[in-house]
């Protein structure tokens, strides 16, 4: 039986929903933790070795996909159903935060084909992670 916390115009906020939102936030934070670790490691490799920056776009793309997979997986593993949806939401939040950071850090930032590709891959990767998260749990 669901314990009602508060009634809103959009529906009921339950303990179950509150827990799932916490799981969603945790998933996105785990995705960003992975991103930070990989980017710091790559930056150290570039700085302290003879490695060039030419592989940077590939490293960013692979890291982003892995990070949203993990975010989606973690977001959906506690969900009773619709893991794909929770995963896609995690991917969308991940990429929205990333876009906000890019706008703040890079004043000349604009949306181009590559940006749209990252958005689509992030949402789709989060959805795939959500599917895996909910099905591995069962």
Point out which residues pair with 11 in neighbouring strands. Answer: 8
Contact criterion met (CB below 8 Å) for 11 and 80: no
Per-domain residue ranges of the chain: 21-137
Q: What is the pLDDT of residue 138?
A: 57
Helix (H) or strand (E) run with residue 86 in it? helix 83-105
- Residue 7 contacts by C-beta under 8 Å, 6 or more apart in sequence? 13
Q: What is the pLDDT of residue 4?
A: 47
pLDDT by position in tens, the chain (length 138) = 444 444 444 555 677 678 888 999 999 999 999 999 999 999 999 999 988 888 888 898 899 999 999 999 999 987 888 889 999 999 999 999 988 988 899 888 888 888 888 889 999 999 999 999 988 855
């Amino acid at each position: 039986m669901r314990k009602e916390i508060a009634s809103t115009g959009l529906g009921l906020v339950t303990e179950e929903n509150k827990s799932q939102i916490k799981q969603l936030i945790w998933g996105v934070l785990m995705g960003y933790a992975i991103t930070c670790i990989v980017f710091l490691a790559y930056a150290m490799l570039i700085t302290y070795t003879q490695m060039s920056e030419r592989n940077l776009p590939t490293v960013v793309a692979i890291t982003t996909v892995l990070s949203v997979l993990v975010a989606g997986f973690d977001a959906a593993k506690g969900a009773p159903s619709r893991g794909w949806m929770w995963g896609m939401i995690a991917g969308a939040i991940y990429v929205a935060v990333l876009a906000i950071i890019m706008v703040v850090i890079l004043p000349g930032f604009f949306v181009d084909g590559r940006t749209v590709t990252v958005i689509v891959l992030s949402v789709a990767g989060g959805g795939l992670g959500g599917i895996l998260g909910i099905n591995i749990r069962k």
